[in-house]
Amino acid sequence: MTLLNCLLLSFILFGIGVFGLLRRRHIVAMLISIELMLNAANMNFISFAYFSKGDASAGAIFSLFVIAITACEMAIALAIVIAMYRRTHSLDIDSLRGLHE
Amino acid sequence: MNNIILMSYLSLFLPFLAFLINALLFHSSRKKHAAYVSIVLSGFGFLSALYIAVFYFQSGIAPGKLILWEHLFLKFTDSLHAHFAFLLDPLSIMMVVVVSFISFVVNLYSLTYMKDDPSFSRFFTFLSLFSFSMLGLVVASNLFQMFFFWELVGISSYLLIGFWYQKPSAVKASKQAFVLTRFADSFFLLGIVLISYIASTFSFETLNSLSLSHFSGSINLGFISISKLQGLFLSSILIFIGGWGKSAMFPMHIWLPNAMEGPTPVSSIIHSATMVVAGVYLVARLFPFFALFPSTLHLIMVLGIITAVFAAVIAITQKDIKRILAFSTLSQLGYMLFALGVTSVVLQNESFIHPLGYSASIFHIFTHAFFKCMLFLIAGSLIHAVHSNSLEAMGGLKNKMPWTYAAAIIGVLAISGLPPFSGFFSKDEILIAAFQSEHFIVFALALVTSALTAFYMFRFFFLAFHGKPRSNSTANVKESFGLSFPILLLAIPSFLGGYAFKKLLFQYYGPGSNNLNVFEKSMQGDWIPFASSFIVLVSIFLAWYFYARPYAKIQKSLDSSNRPRFYKWIYHQFYFDEIYDALVQQFLFKGIAQTIRFFEDYIIGGLLKLFLFVIQKLGSLVRELQSGWTPFYLGLMIFGVLMWSLIAKLPI
């Protein structure tokens, strides 16, 4: 297990997240893609902390913060999704195109 | 002395106060407040002017120059300042008295004349502004102040000529007057700029005592380099062009007869004391400066005499009484200007000044103001009574308007120049000046003009007042006291003004500069008054023969259709209106304006449209980006972040 392997893994995860965010039209699926990207970032934190010479707990603390904030963010996002569903009876992101006007 | 300074402020600013009060408080009032304000304030203005005049001539200061007060107005450079001042000298105080008197009388007259007009108070507002600007012009101590008020006179005359703006002809006339005088004024401004550049002063005092030997070297006008002397000469011509336009000299005269579209009191004040004499006043004010350049004075003389004859010839054939008087004004202005011009005498390559012409010209400004103002007011009364401008509708008003008739006798005799009426004295001085300074052609033409003047004035007089009424409205006419009273007020100075002023004339009214060569050798002209009076009497007899003898064929002599071609030329004023129209329409509008319009439409407009097109396309591109399609936004964001780190090398 090397730093490079860990970074490659998080890069792949991030790429999947980006791809999913761009390609999927289902709102919940997009949220999950965002979650994937965040987790890739978490992995980076942890692995850099693990392979550096100092105290490894700083990385863990950062990722804990990120997880907590993600939880809040998801709560808000899901609330918006529910509101949208009530309004359009659909979870397709394209049904929200009219919002920009 | 403090008294005098206070009086000078009053005489200048009371009309302005009247203007402010009328403009701010009574602008929509239908009552006669505006007229009372104007009349009372201009009356007090006249009294204070009279007070200054009496003080000035009695205190022994005359003919010295005095600047009563002076305020810094604009600072151009450290040495070139424009002041706002009150200059007191014989010329300015004479003009102040005349202008404020005429303005008072015209205000009084307008009270009755304009009483049914819906914009009654607007009229008095403009009239007060007009007198204020003319007063400011005549008391100017420097060219800049003069130009400032010169323009004010221009704008207020524009407002007054176009007073009845519902009439298209009035609008056209006011625009014509404004544009033509503006055209001349632009040269005046150029002249001021040039002279202040060379002599670095605006002050009349300095300009009038310039000595040419101090100016050597040359100046650069940008495209051409000329010597300073030539520059001064050029500026004297340019400054005179300002007066040329304002005094309506040939061929810039056409605005003056057309300005008759305004209400008659306006014509009266424009033609007698304000506006048109401004040009003559300018030349008189800067006379020692102009006298340095005999060619300029020659130009003034030639223009003056051409206008005098030309306008008098036209006046003979006109049927509109206001037009007759307008052309007579032109002719009299020509008189004043050529009188200034004949002062220059060149003998053996040396130039001299014959001061009589100068004094005579100022004298004529003075007498002409009264009788011309009165004649216009009489014409106004006739129009008011008969409801027509045309001589064809008048006749036989002698018994119906006895006071007006009496005043008219004084007026026409004064303008014809028979003793002892005022016009005789000043006209005679002018003729003698022309004779003594040995400009014999000018002298002969001036005699012819004086004969023509007597003829057309008596033609007007006989056709309007004698004979039988030629229309129904003429048969039942009543005289109105409100109109006759101001006319009678003016009859006094028209009758006695010449004799009274003659005493002051030679004592105080000379060109007043010591670096001019005075022309000493003078021929006697004792016979001239007799000759001119005889000629005038013959003209009057001819006018009587054609228009008032018991069996005169008035209908035939008023008929203008069945006439030889030459008469028609004169009757149509030598087609100058048409020439100007053609020039303006064909050359300015169709030629230059159309070309510029083309340039504007297709080249500037085209560039603008191209620019607009590009901006619009860019705009729609940006608008397309706001598609509302979320993945596209997200993609752009990610792309942007990538670009940020890859191209801009920013740490993220």
Which pLDDT score is estimated for B641?
A: 87
- Asked if B631 and A100 come within 8 Å (Cβ–Cβ), the reply is no
Is residue B110 a contact partner of residue B49, using CB atoms and an 8 Å limit?
Answer: no
Nearest CA in chain B to A27: B630
Q: Which structure tokens are listed for B492?
A: 């006094």
Q: Which of B628, B631, B634 sits opposite A99 (nearest CB)?
A: B628
CA distance B371 to B327: 15
Name the more confident of B564 and B328: B328
| C-alpha separations of B479 from A12, B73, B381 in Å | 112, 49, 8
Domain that holds residue B601: 577-649
Q: What is the largest CA-CA distance in chain A?
A: 53
Contacting residues for B553 by C-beta, under 8 A, at least 6 apart = none
Contacting residues for B614 by C-beta, under 8 A, at least 6 apart = none
- Asked if B628 and A25 come within 8 Å (Cβ–Cβ), the reply is no
pLDDT band at B520 (very low <50, low <70, confident <90, very high): low
Which pLDDT score is estimated for A59?
A: 84
Which pLDDT score is estimated for B522?
A: 63
Q: Which DSSP string corresponds to B78-100?
A: SS-EEEEEEEESHHHHHHHHHHH
Cα–Cα nearest to B358, from B331, B372, B328, B338: B338
The answer to the question of residue B600 being in a domain is yes
Average pLDDT over residues B526-546: 88
Contacting residues for B239 by C-beta, under 8 A, at least 6 apart = B143, B187, B188, B191, B192, B195, B282, B286
CA distance B386 to B397: 10
Residue B346, SS3? Answer: strand
Q: Which of A33, A81, A88, A94 to mutate to probe the B interface, most B CBs <10 Å?
A: A94
Does residue B265 have a cis peptide bond before it, meaning omega lies within 30 degrees of 0?
no
Average pLDDT over residues B149-166: 91
**Domain A3-95 of CATH type 2.40.30.110:** no
| C-alpha torsion B487→B491→B492→B496, nearest 10 | 160
Nearest CA in chain B to A93: B630
pLDDT tens per residue across span B603-635 = 999 999 999 999 999 999 888 877 777 788 888
Which pLDDT score is estimated for B521?
A: 59
Compute the mean pLDDT over every residue in chain B, rounded to the nearest whole number.
86
Cα–Cα nearest to B464, from B401, B549, B556, B542: B401
Which pLDDT score is estimated for B512?
A: 63
- Asked if B627 and A100 come within 8 Å (Cβ–Cβ), the reply is yes
Within a 10 A sphere around the Cβ of B341, how many other Cβ atoms? 27
Q: How far is the alpha carbon of B629 from chain A, nearest alpha carbon, in Å?
A: 6
The answer to the question of residue B247 being in a domain is no
Within a 10 A sphere around the Cβ of A48, how many other Cβ atoms? 16
CA distance A22 to A49: 31
- Asked if B629 and A99 come within 8 Å (Cβ–Cβ), the reply is no
* Predicted TM-score (pTM) of this structure: 0.78
The answer to the question of residue B589 being in a domain is yes
Residue B232 burial (10 A CB sphere; 0-12, 13-18, 19+): buried
Average pLDDT over residues B519-539: 81
pLDDT at position B199 over 70: yes
Q: Hey, is the C-beta of B626 within 8 angstroms of any chain A C-beta? A: yes
Q: How far is the alpha carbon of B650 from chain A, nearest alpha carbon, in Å?
A: 19
- Within its chain, how far is the Cα of A6 from the centroid? 18
Q: How far is the alpha carbon of A93 from chain B, nearest alpha carbon, in Å?
A: 7
Q: Per-domain residue ranges for chain A?
A: 3-95
CA distance B380 to B387: 10
Nearest CA in chain A to B636: A22
pLDDT band at B131 (very low <50, low <70, confident <90, very high): very high
Q: Which structure tokens are listed for B110?
A: 């307008």
pLDDT at position B365 over 70: yes
Question: What's at B39, amino acid-wise?
Answer: I
The answer to the question of residue B243 being in a domain is no
Q: How many structural domains does chain B have? A: 1
pLDDT tens per residue across span B36-55 = 889 999 999 999 999 998 88
Residues of chain A with pLDDT under 50: none
- Asked if A21 and B634 come within 8 Å (Cβ–Cβ), the reply is yes
The answer to the question of residue B254 being in a domain is no
Question: What's at B246, amino acid-wise?
Answer: K
Q: Hey, is the C-beta of B638 within 8 angstroms of any chain A C-beta? A: yes
For the ranges B11-20, B60-69, B246-255, B444-453, the lowest mean pLDDT is seen at B60-69
Which pLDDT score is estimated for B239?
A: 92
Q: Hey, is the C-beta of B634 within 8 angstroms of any chain A C-beta? A: yes
pLDDT at position B574 over 80: no
Which pLDDT score is estimated for B513?
A: 59
For the ranges B297-311, B361-375, B581-595, the lowest mean pLDDT is seen at B581-595
Partners of B629 on chain A (C-beta within 8 Å) are 94, 97
pLDDT at position B503 over 80: no
CA distance B553 to B546: 8
Q: Hey, is the C-beta of B637 within 8 angstroms of any chain A C-beta? A: no
pLDDT tens per residue across span B162-176 = 999 998 989 988 988
Q: How far is the alpha carbon of B610 from chain A, nearest alpha carbon, in Å?
A: 29
Is residue B369 a contact partner of residue B493, using CB atoms and an 8 Å limit?
Answer: no
The answer to the question of residue B641 being in a domain is yes
pLDDT band at B515 (very low <50, low <70, confident <90, very high): low
- Asked if B630 and A101 come within 8 Å (Cβ–Cβ), the reply is no
pLDDT at position B551 over 70: yes
Which pLDDT score is estimated for B519?
A: 67
Q: Which of B626, B628, B634 sits opposite A22 (nearest CB)?
A: B634
Is residue B264 a contact partner of residue B321, using CB atoms and an 8 Å limit?
Answer: no
The answer to the question of residue B638 being in a domain is yes
The answer to the question of residue B634 being in a domain is yes
Question: What's at B61, amino acid-wise?
Answer: I
Which pLDDT score is estimated for B624?
A: 80
Q: Give me the interface pTM, i.e. the ipTM.
A: 0.76
**Residue B226 bridge partners (DSSP):** B219
CA distance B87 to B91: 10
Q: Which of A93, A98, A101 sits opposite B630 (nearest CB)?
A: A93
- Asked if A100 and B626 come within 8 Å (Cβ–Cβ), the reply is yes
Which pLDDT score is estimated for B516?
A: 64
- Contacts across the A-B interface (CB distance below 8 Å): 24
Cα–Cα nearest to B319, from B536, B578, B561, B565: B561
Partners of B627 on chain A (C-beta within 8 Å) are 97, 100
Partners of A14 on chain B (C-beta within 8 Å) are none
Q: How far is the alpha carbon of A94 from chain B, nearest alpha carbon, in Å?
A: 6
